[in-house]
Amino acid sequence: MMLIKKPFIFILVLLSLCSIASVIAQAEDPPQKPEIVDIAVSLVDGKTEIEIIASSPFTYTIYKKSDPYHITVDLQDTLFGVFTDKIVVDSAGVLDIAPVKNAGSPDIARIDIALTVPADIEPLYRDNTLTLSFDNPEDSDEVLAGIEEETVDEAIQSEAVKTAEERVSQPKYTGEKISIDFQDVELNHVFRLIADISGYNIVISPDVKGKFSMKLSDVPWDQALDIILRNYGLSKSVEANIIRIAPTAILAREEEEIARVKESQEKSGNLVTRVYPINYANVSAMMQTIKDAKILTNRGFISVDERTTSIVIRDVDQKHEEYEKIIAALDNPTPQVSINARIVEVTDNLTKELGIQWGALVKPTPQSQVGGGLLSGGLGEFTGKPLAVNLPAAVGSGTGGTLGIGYVSANALRALDIQLSAAESTGQGKVISSPRIVTMDNQKAVIRQGKKIPYETISQDGTKTEFVDAALELIVVPHITPEGTILMKVEVRKNEADFSRTSNNVPTIDTNEVETLVLINDGDTLALGGIYKRNETEDEAAVPGLGKIPILGWLFKKELKQNTTTEILVFITPRIVK
């Protein structure tokens, strides 16, 4: 007979109770549900990939609606996690990705994906990640949108979004900004609201039906309209102040029908031959422009008559209206610019009197004082638009090669002429040349004045005379802007022979050049300086014999050192020939 002690029985009972409690506890604590931790959109090798990443394995169902621009994905027994707000992508073929919370099915995380292109989705599930891919013509392997973890610094996240937006080409929207927040309202009501705000008349096709749910804040109305249309597979056509909205397929069929009718008319219409005289444009270039415009029908023919500078076009009658418009728009006279130049050789003092050696011309007040007066009566003010030039021309000797640029308004030109004439009569300056030339827009005008210096060379063939150029050359290329101002590229070159330094009897050529690009008003004057020539002379007068005594000789002699600095100033006044 076997005896069991009471303490042993108590231990067995206690172990059994612990096991039962553990089983009950496990039954009360179900396993943790998977939750969404990230959603990302990217372009890889011409395919758009939408990645839905969860914390643990999950099951899913994809619903493909009749609308090819929408996809719905249900994740069973899955929590939304960090995916709480709509992600607006608007790139890579994806418009937005939105969570759809259904109180009747709290265990399902429904994701609604709106596309901008119709897509045939290819799903792939691997390692807690569902990848939805479809063909897309865009080509980029950068991640364009996604859900970042909450620990990411907000400033870095903002910069990443900004960079992605800059990479995606966006249309330019100029409409008044609006904010809308609708839930399950008729589409027609939304379009009526946009019509009231925009001032356009909106005509809606009877085929446009459905409910609308969207929240937009501070968005231009034309951008909001485009987003809504893409979201629901719609398109618009604009005629004057009327916007017509219909399903994309309907508008596409209408455009195809219009193209077929037009093609039929071109095939069946009578051919008409017309001659278009070309007055100003190059006739061959005009013919090539019409060919490049791709408006000739398959039956059309175009040729050129060089003798009469005319274009001969044979095509259906309704196409000739287009040819007339193109020729009328392009066959216009090229604008011309008259360039008046004054090339002046002056002393440095006169340069200061003219006020060319300033630091800048500004306009803090309606009139700005610039340097000294031109005349004793005083013309120290230049009016008109300010020229922001901060290139001060240095004063004093030894400053050869410094560029000076100035601006003289049209109403100061007469005083400038008077001052230059006075300077020439007193010997302080000399007007070297005052040429005038007319050139066409964007064509180079060249003014050259100087001489050819002969020199002899000896070779096996004997002695012959050759020439070297020593000339002052002014090159101007004007361009008339749409605002009526003149953009000028100016080059000034002064070449001068130096017979004190020769090589094989050929004098050296001292070269000075100034080049600038400046915008100037019609009729105003541009002043260019900076081409200097410096001469140094020394003279001594002394009492014979006594002037050579060391130290005391200074009492019996006189020394004269003179530095003469001559500057070439160029005044250019362009005027549009009207």
Chain segment 365-420, per-residue pLDDT in tens: 333 333 333 333 333 333 344 433 333 434 443 334 444 455 555 555 555 555 55
Residue 80: the pLDDT is 83
What are the structure tokens assigned to 188, written together? 């027609």
Instruction: Name the CATH code of domain 177-252 (choices 3.40.50.1860, 3.40.50.970, 3.55.50.30, 3.30.2350.10).
Output: 3.55.50.30
Residue 276: the pLDDT is 94
β pairing state of 242-247 and 201-204:
parallel
Domain with CATH 2.60.40.3500 in the chain: 36-167
Rounded (10°) CA dihedral 270, 273, 279, 282: 90
What are the structure tokens assigned to 394, written together? 């240095």
Distance of CA 297 to the CA centre of its chain: 36
User: Does the global pTM surpass 0.85?
Assistant: no
Other CB atoms within a 10 A radius of the CB of residue 376 amount to 6
Per-residue pLDDT of the chain in tens (578 residues, 90 and over written 9): 444 445 555 555 555 555 554 544 444 455 678 888 888 888 887 788 888 988 888 888 887 666 667 788 888 888 888 887 888 877 778 888 888 877 667 778 888 888 877 777 888 888 888 888 888 755 444 444 444 444 334 443 444 444 444 444 445 788 888 888 888 888 888 888 888 888 899 998 888 888 878 888 888 888 888 888 888 888 888 888 899 999 988 888 888 888 787 777 667 778 889 999 999 889 999 999 998 888 888 888 899 999 999 999 999 888 898 899 999 998 988 899 999 888 887 776 544 444 433 333 334 433 333 333 333 333 333 334 443 333 343 444 333 444 445 555 555 555 555 555 555 555 566 777 788 889 999 999 998 888 888 877 777 777 788 887 888 888 999 999 988 899 999 988 888 777 777 777 677 777 778 888 889 899 888 888 777 777 676 777 777 877 778 877 777 777 777 777 777 788 899 999 98
Query: What angle is formed at CA 212 by the lines to CA 210 and CA 216, rounded to 5 degrees?
Result: 155
Other CB atoms within a 10 A radius of the CB of residue 273 amount to 10
Q: Are 76 and 61 in contact (CB under 8 A)?
A: yes
Question: What does the pLDDT look like over 466-488, one tens digit per residue?
Answer: 887 888 888 999 999 988 899 99
CATH architecture of residue range(s) 269-330: 2-Layer Sandwich (3.30)
Q: Are 187 and 233 in contact (CB under 8 A)?
A: no
Q: Are 340 and 573 in contact (CB under 8 A)?
A: yes
Q: Are 92 and 134 in contact (CB under 8 A)?
A: no
Domain with CATH 3.55.50.30 in the chain: 177-252
Amino acid at 521: N
Instruction: Name the CATH code of domain 36-167 (choices 2.60.40.3500, 1.10.260.40, 2.30.30.90, 2.10.109.10).
Output: 2.60.40.3500
